[in-house]
C-alpha cells in the first residue's frame, strides 16, 4: 500500500473528506426523493449498513421541498444531486443540504453557477464537480460537440481523458475566481482503466479531495469486478478520499461491498464478523457450501464483534490458510474439529458443527466484552489436526509443513 496522497480537507455535515480524514463511504438513494417516508427509510438502512454520506436526486421542486423533512430524520449528512436546474441547487442549499453535486457544464448561465457557489461559500457547503464520461461531451454547442465527438472517434481513451482534464480546468477556474476551494472532484467512466488513468493524472495536478467511482457499472454480479478493479488500484496507490460503488440494484449492496473493499485495504476498521472459507475441492466430505451459508447468516444475526471465523473443508491446506482466525473449524468425514485462537476445543459430528461453531463464537465474544480476551487480528499458529479418516477407513494425505500453502 502506498502512502495516502495528502489533499485539502472539506467538511460535509461533520464528515471530513480529504486531509487526514478516513476514506468516506457513500451511496445514493434509488427512491423518488419527494416520497419522504421511503427515502428516509432507505437512508436509514444505508446508514446502519455503514454509509458515511448519502446522495439524493433533486430533479424537481417537490424533491427539494421534501428535503427539510428528510434532513431532520437522516442520521448521516446528505448530498443533493443537481444537474440542469440551478434553482434546485439554491433550494437545496436553503433547505440545509450538506453538500451539492454540480456539473457546471450543464448550467450554461455562468452567473447562475456563480450564485450557487456564493450561496455554498456563505454556508460552508462543499461542491462536488463531476467530469464524468456520461456528461462530459458538449450538448448544446453543436459545433463544439461535433469537434469533441470527432476527437473521441480518433482516440477515444486518450482523448476522453484529455477532454475531462480540459473541462475540469475550465470548471475549477470558475471556483478559483470566486475564491471557493471546498471542492471535491470526480472523473468517472464505465471503463475501469480510464478511471485509473484519469484519477491518477488529476491527483498529480490538484490537491482537491477525490470522489472515486465507476459509472454505469451494471448489476452487482459484474459491477463488483468493474468497480473494485479501478477503486482498489487507486486506493492501494494512495489516491481517493471518498468512494461510491454504483450498482443497478438495491443500494445497500453498494455499501456492503464498499465497506468490504475499505476493510480489505486496511482503510476502515472492521466492525462485523469476517468469514473466510476454503474454495472447496474433491477432498471435502461435508456440505461445505451449506455450512458456509448458514455460518454467514448466523454470524450476521448473533455476533457484533469483528471475530474472524474460518470454515475449512479439510485439514490439508486449511490450517495454513486460516492462521489468524479467532475461531476455525476443519470439517471432514461427517465431523469437524474446532479451534479457538489456535487452541483445539472440540470435535463434533457434522450435524453439530454449526451450533458448536456458533457456541464458540458467542463464548469468545462474551469473553472479549468482559475484558477477559482480545481478538487476534494477527498471526495465530494453528497446529494441524490429525487427518480425519475417510468413510472407507482410509486416511487422506498426511498433513505436513510442505502441504501448507
The CATH number covering residue 360 comes to: 3.30.413.10
Q: Which long-range contacts (CB under 8 A, 24 or more apart) does 35-44 make?
A: 35/66, 36/66, 36/69, 36/70, 39/66, 39/70, 40/69, 40/70, 40/73, 40/74, 42/251, 43/70, 43/73, 43/74, 43/75, 43/76, 43/78, 44/73, 44/74, 44/75
Same domain, yes or no: 225 and 296 = no
Same domain, yes or no: 175 and 292 = no
**Which residue range forms the structural domain that includes residue 324?**
274-403
CATH of the domain at 245: 3.20.20.20
Tens-place pLDDT, residues 84-111: 788 999 999 999 999 999 877 666 788 8
1 in a structural domain: no
Residue 261 in grid coordinates: 473493499
4 in a structural domain: no
Same domain, yes or no: 186 and 310 = no
**pLDDT at res. 386:** 55
What average pLDDT score do residues 187-202 get?
Answer: 95
Same domain, yes or no: 21 and 136 = yes
Calpha distance 186→189 (Å, rounded) = 10
Same domain, yes or no: 43 and 124 = yes
Residue 85 in grid coordinates: 436546474
Q: How confident is the model at residue 405 (pLDDT cuts 50, 70, 90)?
A: very low
Calpha distance 232→214 (Å, rounded) = 11
**Total domains present in the chain:** 2
Strands 327-332 and 15-18 turn out to be: unpaired
Q: Are 202 and 168 in contact (CB under 8 A)?
A: yes
Helices (H) and strands (E) in the chain, counts: 12, 15
Same domain, yes or no: 382 and 285 = yes
344 in a structural domain: yes
Calpha distance 213→259 (Å, rounded) = 14
Same domain, yes or no: 229 and 287 = no
134 in a structural domain: yes
Same domain, yes or no: 176 and 249 = yes
Tens-place pLDDT, residues 295-348: 999 999 999 999 999 998 876 666 666 677 999 998 877 888 899 988 889 999
Same domain, yes or no: 67 and 48 = yes
Three-state secondary structure string covering 231-288: HHHHHHCCCCCEECCCCCCCCHHHHHHHHHHHHHCCCCCCCCCEEEECCCCCCCCCCH
Same domain, yes or no: 257 and 278 = no
Q: Which of 246, 264, 282 is a domain's end point?
A: 264
Same domain, yes or no: 219 and 346 = no
**pLDDT at res. 399:** 40
Calpha distance 269→260 (Å, rounded) = 10
Amino acid at each position: 500500500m502506498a502512502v495516502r496522497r495528502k489533499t485539502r480537507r472539506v467538511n460535509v455535515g461533520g464528515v471530513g473528506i480529504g486531509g487526514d480524514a478516513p476514506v468516506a463511504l457513500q451511496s445514493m438513494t434509488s427512491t423518488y426523493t419527494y416520497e419522504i417516508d421511503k427515502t428516509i427509510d432507505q437512508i436509514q438502512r444505508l446508514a446502519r449498513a455503514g454509509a458515511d454520506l448519502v446522495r439524493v436526486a433533486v430533479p424537481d421542486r417537490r424533491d427539494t421541498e421534501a428535503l427539510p423533512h428528510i434532513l431532520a430524520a437522516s442520521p448521516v449528512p446528505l448530498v443533493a444531486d443537481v444537474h440542469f436546474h440551478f434553482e434546485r441547487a439554491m433550494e437545496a442549499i436553503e433547505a440545509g443540504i450538506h453538500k451539492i453535486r454540480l456539473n457546471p457544464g450543464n448550467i450554461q448561465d455562468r452567473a447562475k453557477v456563480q450564485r450557487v457557489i456564493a450561496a455554498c461559500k456563505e454556508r460552508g457547503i462543499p461542491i462536488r464537480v463531476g467530469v464524468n464520461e456520461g456528461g462530459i461531451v458538449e450538448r448544446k454547442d453543436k459545433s463544439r460537440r461535433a469537434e469533441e465527438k470527432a476527437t473521441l472517434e480518433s482516440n477515444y481513451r486518450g482523448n476522453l481523458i484529455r477532454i475531462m482534464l480540459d473541462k475540469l480546468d475550465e470548471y475549477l477556474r470558475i471556483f478559483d475566481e470566486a475564491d471557493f476551494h471546498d471542492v471535491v472532484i470526480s472523473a468517472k467512466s464505465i471503463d475501469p482503466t480510464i478511471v485509473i488513468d484519469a484519477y491518477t493524472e488529476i491527483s498529480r495536478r490538484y490537491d482537491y479531495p477525490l470522489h472515486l467511482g465507476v459509472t454505469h457499472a451494471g448489476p452487482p454480479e459484474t459491477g463488483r469486478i468493474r468497480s473494485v478493479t479501478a477503486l482498489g488500484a487507486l486506493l492501494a496507490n494512495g489516491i481517493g478520499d471518498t468512494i461510491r460503488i454504483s450498482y443497478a440494484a438495491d443500494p445497500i449492496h453498494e455499501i456492503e461491498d464498499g465497506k468490504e473493499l475499505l476493510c480489505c485495504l486496511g482503510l476502515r476498521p472492521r466492525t462485523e464478523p469476517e468469514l473466510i472459507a476454503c474454495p472447496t475441492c474433491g477432498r471435502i466430505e461435508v456440505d461445505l457450501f451449506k455450512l458456509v451459508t448458514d455460518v454467514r447468516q448466523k454470524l450476521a444475526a448473533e455476533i457484533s464483534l469483528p471475530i474472524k471465523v474460518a470454515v475449512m473443508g479439510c485439514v490439508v491446506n486449511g490450517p495454513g490458510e486460516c492462521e489468524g482466525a479467532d475461531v476455525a473449524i476443519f470439517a471432514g468425514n461427517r465431523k469437524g474439529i474446532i479451534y479457538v485462537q489456535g487452541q483445539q476445543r472440540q470435535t463434533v459430528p457434522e450435524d453439530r458443527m454449526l451450533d458448536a461453531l456458533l457456541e464458540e463464537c458467542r463464548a469468545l465474544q462474551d469473553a472479549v466484552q468482559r475484558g477477559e480476551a482480545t481478538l487476534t487480528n494477527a498471526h495465530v499458529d494453528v497446529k494441524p489436526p490429525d487427518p480425519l479418516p475417510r468413510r472407507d477407513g482410509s486416511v487422506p494425505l498426511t498433513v505436513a509443513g510442505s502441504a501448507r500453502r
